[in-house]
Amino acid sequence: MTLRADARRNRDLLVAAAIAVVAEEGPDASLNEIARRAGVGPGTLYRHFPTRDALLAAVFEGRLSRLCEQSEELAESKPPGEALIAWLRLLTVHAMTDQGLGARMMLPTPAAGVDCWTMLRTAADRLLLPAQSEGRVRPDIDFTDLVELTAGIARSAPDPARADRLLTLTLDGLRTGHVAQRTEKQ
């Protein structure tokens, strides 16, 4: 189960290199380039990460764990409704970094390992469920709805400011008791 010392070291080198290269060139960065930067043969990369998404999941892990911490902090420091919304804003920002690495890993990509998905789910549910039982968010909203909507926004918005606007527009449909401003003439 536990890796040999040199294998472990190579794995770490690969992830570190991947973090750097993906930050520069995004999630479609060259795998050979990552291996080169790690000082390792391409075969070694494939041994540790059989698929591109497996490697990207490792890169995303750090960002994801921060997102979980922030979810806990918000759960304690803010009332349910506000906490969820604040966290969704953070989620959108994270989804846009590294040329959309986040938005790509947030959706359940086959063979990326389900770890990401379940980590995200617990982080989100921690804020969503209370918000719903307090009647601040529609009860028929799902974790999946939240993730797909924010991932979509992150993918299509040209910059963070636009993403924030689109999120606000979408939230006006999620929040209970919110009445969209009326402008009817009849």
Partner DNA sequence: ACCTGAACACCGTTCAAGT
Give phi and psi for 137, each to the nearest 5: -135, 145
Q: How many CA atoms lie within 13 A of 184 on its CB side?
A: 3
Q: Toward DNA, which CB reaches closer, 51 or 176?
A: 51
Site for DNA in 46-85 (CB under 7 A): 46-48, 51-52
Show the tokens assigned to 71. Answer: 């979810």
135: left (phi over 0), alpha (psi -120 to 50) or beta: left
Q: How many CA atoms lie within 13 A of 162 on its CB side?
A: 9
* Total chain residues near DNA (CB under 7 A): 21
Site for DNA in 7-46 (CB under 7 A): 7, 10, 29-33, 39-44, 46
CA 111 from centre of chain: 17
If contact means CB under 5 to 8 A according to the sort of partner, which of a copy of itself, DNA, none does residue 141 touch?
a copy of itself
Question: Is the Cβ–Cβ distance between 78 and 87 less than 8 Å?
Answer: no
If contact means CB under 5 to 8 A according to the sort of partner, which of a copy of itself, DNA, none does residue 110 touch?
none
173 near a copy of itself (CB under 8 A): yes
What is the pattern of x (binds DNA, CB under 7 A) and - over residues 92-111?
Answer: --------------------
157 near a copy of itself (CB under 8 A): yes
49 SS3 class: coil
If contact means CB under 5 to 8 A according to the sort of partner, which of a copy of itself, DNA, none does residue 12 touch?
none
Contacting positions for DNA (CB under 7 A) = 3-4, 6-7, 10, 29-33, 39-44, 46-48, 51-52
